[in-house]
Structure 1
Amino acid sequence: MAKIELNSMGVDDSGIVKLRCSVKNYDWGKLGKESTVARLYASNSGEEQIEDDHAYAEFWMGTHESGSSYAILVEADEVVTNGDSEEEGGSKRNGCGLVSLKDWIGKNPSVLGDKVLRKWGANLPFLFKVLSVAKVLSIQAHPDKNLAEVLHKQQPGVYRDDNHKPEMALALTEFEALCGFISLEELKSVLHNVPEIIEVVGSAYAEEILQASEQDGEKRLKEILQSLFTGLMSVSNAVISEVISKLTSRLNLKREVRELTEKEELVLRLEKQHPGDIGVIAAFLFNYVKLKSGEALYLGANEPHAYIAGECVECMATSDNVVRAGLTPKNRDVQTLCSMLTYKQGFPKILSGVPSNPYTMKYIPPFDEFEVDRCILPQETSTILPPSPGPSIFMVLSGNGKISTESSEELITEGTVLFTPANTEVNIATISGLHLYRAGVNSSFFNETVISSSIQQHEK
């Protein structure tokens, strides 16, 4: 039998490594073959069977322990590890030698590039996903680095790592989300038109909002909004259940005499998915965002959001920390969520991408850990992605073709996921057409590093 010692697993710095990736079957995911996640996972894993009654929610690509990817190194009968379990190093699946990507990077840290290694250590700084959303996800926010460290120390079973989690969602289909608080003027309109909110929080909170103006200053406006939101989210389940019943009855009667607004229709959809949930009313306070395919939304730490429906590519810092407070049967931490939010108001910025070649759009959020390229190649075309100083993960959404570097080549098709080391030029070619995505460390991180180094040299 072929044996591989984990400690001796080296790599050609310009080579390509194929990855076996993880799936999450959360109940909000799309069912069976309707789910892009299901199709990608089936192709990637070689498990062609897709269960029609199973929800396939997330396809994970990266090193986070909650859903680690595995490097496919050789065709082998056995993998010898430093431990006794798969989690401690390697495994044998379908005749392939598999080692967790995190362990493999730990043995080959040069694949990350010097700047990434110095900043984040021997680990991928980003986590790459595909989401197939059939039902709304929870109203949630992700903690900043300092809060993540505190929460992880206090509740390691709930907050499983100590990292922050800025993220970006890039729509594959029309993608609906709630994101950030509506403007002050919109909020006043909501209070005039949704009496149930005043019934829950009381007229004093509502009057503060109605009397507020931009001249009050940003700090004061945030304090007023925080008081209103905290009051709403903290009300008892019995009160909320009764008020939501009134709300739905009122909206259904309104529908008979006028067309409901998009937000009102959304609230009725959410109520069917989560009857009696405070998040149904809270939705009135958030921006309702509809992304078209190719548009992206980024979310910094401590910003409230909830994905509603559609499919997207998602990229984030390597973390799985989520603070929830509504539209979910999972653990809720209302006090933490209400205290951590920024309470910024206004519609979020939408990214349309910047062309980096005729077939590729680059999406660069204001976070060091990641950026995403969207590459759509027509039939019988090719393109070159120049070397990045950091590592990359490529995911093929559809089509087929090949990816090659100076020293290696891989045939690619739907569900193929590849890791390429830092400083690797990548050539992508197709015959029938190809749609793929690349996640990598943000280009601005390397530019800032170069500028910073130049300043230090000048000061010396």
Structure 2
Amino acid sequence: MIYRWMGTYPELPSHVLETGEDLQDVLDKYPDELIGKTVAQRFNHTKLPYLPKVLSIAKALPLQLHPNKHLASKLHQKNPKQFTDPNHKPEIALALGDFEAFCGFKPLKDIENLMELAPLQTFMPQVEKPDFDDQTLKHVVKAMLEASEDTVRKTNDALMDLPKESFGKDTYIPDMIPRLAEQYDKADNGTLVALVTMNYLQLKQGESIYIPADGIHAYLSGDIIECMARSNNVLNTGFCPRAHRDSVDMFTSCLTFTPHDRKECMLPSQSFSKSKSGKSQLYAPPLSEFSMYATTLANGESDTIGKIGGPSIMIVTEGEGTLRADAKDYKLSAGYIFFVGQGTEIDIKASKALKAFTAYAE
């Protein structure tokens, strides 16, 4: 995996290219002009409330969740070296091409049907035919995460020996076990949790998913733009060495069961009212820290983005062109990153088919 976020987080902060200044130092000098009073008052600081980044994923990232604000604050106080801030970390992932991910849980009925397979019965509560609700699911997830390497390996072998039709609509499960085992190990507990209980998503370019705080997920492959609230807190529990995993009790205690269907994972794009040519699409997750818009221009096309009442960060991923702001022109090219102060109208013009992604708060 290759990534670097853009923003003012103390680890890997962004700097101004021309001067070498830490971006946060510049924002502190001109908070009203660059951040704006509305955003500064909402978050009670002049730091950027979001962190966008580009991810290029070649193998499954750890099975993880990001703790909610209450737990993050407690973890930060107890272990600030590992949990470096007291904030939550909801996020979106926007596909730049084909992208695979495990996200949230499948509908309960679908999981219940899979759990009737003989190799999986050992992970069910030892009571007579329980109602399969979220608490039953939590028991199943915890049992899978606590299982020994030998149990996980034998379960995966047994699942691969079953006829494909045994898996109903989830026939990808036996085919994906060897793939995940090659990346990590057939004894990795994450394989069972991800394949049996979680939604497997295959996204195309321009599609996006939303991960709420405490939402279970693992990115599998592809290139994405990710944007998250200002935090670097994470709990890992699979698709990584056992020594790198956090407490199973802690992980399962803060699990939420939203989303509970693949449709609930998706974050559809919508028209962006500030895009005057309609060449930019909005991705607006249900949180206050950020939204994102994606600009797609063919050769010679342009778009004007009206004034936004807060700070923005733009990254160009394809093409070339110009950005005009405050009567000054700036070159655009793949890999270029711009900070745009609040209340600034910008004009984007492509000399070569161009794509840019902009995170903002207002």
Q: Decide: shared fold, TM above 0.5.
A: yes
Q: 1:116 aligns with which of 30, 35, 39?
A: 39
Aligned to 1:230, the other structure's residue is in SS state: helix
1:366 maps to 2:277 = no
> 329-338 or 316-325: which moved more?
329-338
1:205/1:117 CA distance change after superposition, 3 Å: farther
Tell me the residue number matched to 1:192.
116
Q: Which residue of structure 2 aligns with residue 280 of structure 1? A: 191
TM-score of the superposed pair, with normalisation by structure 2: 0.90
Residues 323 and 347 in structure 2, CA contact (< 8 A), matched pair in contact too: yes
Alignment partner of 1:181 is 2:92: no
Shift of 1:203: 5.5
1:251 and 2:160 equivalent?
A: yes
Q: Which amino acid aligns with 2:172?
A: E
Note the alpha carbon deviations across 1:302-335, whole angstroms, 9 max, x for none: 1101111111100111111101111112342322
Change (3 A) 1:408 1:346: same
| Residue from 392, 397, 414 that aligns with 2:317 | 397
Structure 1 residue 359, shift from structure 2 partner: 1.4
* 1-structure distance, mates of 2:167, 2:217: 29
Any stretches of 5+ residues in structure 1 without a counterpart? 1-28, 30-56, 75-96, 213-220, 447-460
Instruction: Pick from 65, 74, 83 the counterpart of residue 159 of structure 1.
Output: 83
SS at match of 1:161: coil
Aligned partner of 1:380 in structure 2 is 300
Residues 309 and 62 of structure 1, relative CA distance in 2, 3 Å threshold = same
User: Which of the two has greater helix per residue?
Assistant: 1
How far 1:243 moved relative to its partner? 3.5
Partner residue, 1:144: 68
Closer, same or farther: CA 325–411 of 1 in aligned 2, 3 Å: same
Q: Deviations over 1:189-226 (max 9, x none)?
A: 11123x33323x35616832xx44xxxxxxxx222222
The match for 2:230 is 318
1:265 aligns with 2:265: no
- Using the TM superposition, name which of 282-291 and 353-362 deviates more: 353-362
User: Residues 170-206 of structure 1: CA distance to partner in whole angstroms, max 9, x if unpaired?
Assistant: 000111111111111101111123x33323x356168
Bigger radius of gyration? 1
Equivalent-residue separation in structure 2 for 1:197 and 1:138 (angstroms) = 22
Q: What is the deviation of 1:229?
A: 1.8
> 2: CA distance between counterparts of 1:423 and 1:407?
14
What is the CA distance between 1:279 and its match in structure 2?
Answer: 0.6
Structure 1 residues 188, 100: CA separation in 2 closer, same or farther (over 3 Å shift)? same
Considering only aligned residues, what root-mean-square deviation do their CA atoms show, in Å?
2.2
Aligned to 1:125: 49
**1:379 shift after superposition:** 0.6
Q: For residues 250 and 437 of structure 1, do their structure 2 counterparts lie closer, same or farther at Cα, with a shift above 3 Å needed?
A: closer
Gaps of 5+ in 2: none
Q: Percent identity among equivalent residues?
A: 30
Rounded to whole Å, the distance in 1 between the matches of 2:81 and 2:247 is 14
Residue 358 of structure 2 is matched in structure 1 by: 438
Instruction: Give 1:333's match in structure 2, choosing from 227, 235, 247.
Output: 247
CA distance in 1, matches of 2:349, 2:161: 54
Q: Is the 8 A contact 2:125 2:136 kept in 1?
A: no
Determine helix, strand or coil for the equivalent of 2:16.
strand
Contact 1:225 1:343 in 2 (8 A): no
Alignment match, 1:11:
none
CA distance in 1, matches of 2:127, 2:145: 13
Contact 1:143 1:340 in 2 (8 A): yes
In the alignment, the residues of structure 2 paired with residue 251 and residue 332 of structure 1 have an alpha-carbon distance, to the nearest angstrom, of 29
What's the CA shift for 1:250? 4.7
Whether the 8 Å CA contact 2:120–2:155 is kept in 1: the answer is no
Alignment partners' CA distance in 1, 2:127 and 2:200: 23
Match of 1:354 in 2: 270
Aligned mates of 1:427, 1:268 — CA distance in 2: 49
Query: Are the equivalent residues in 1 in contact too, given 2:124–2:140 (CA < 8 A)?
Result: no
Aligned AA for 2:27?
I
Pair 103,299 (structure 1): closer, same or farther in 2 beyond 3 Å: same
**Where do 1:209-224 residues align within 5 Å?**
211-212=131-132, 221-224=133-136
- Distance in 2 (alpha carbons) for counterparts of 1:127 and 1:258: 39
CA shift in 2, pair 1:134/1:299, >3 Å = same
Q: Which amino acid aligns with 1:178?
A: F
User: CA 1:377/1:341 → structure 2, altered by over 3 Å: closer, same or farther?
Assistant: same
Q: What is the identity, as a one-letter code, of the residue corresponding to 2:23?
A: L
Counterpart residue type for residue 287 of structure 1:
N
User: What SS does the corresponding residue of 1:266 show, helix, strand or coil?
Assistant: helix
Secondary structure, in 3 states, of the residue corresponding to 2:358? strand
Query: 1-side partners of 2:178 and 2:68: how far apart?
Result: 33
Distance 1:114 1:407 in 2: 24
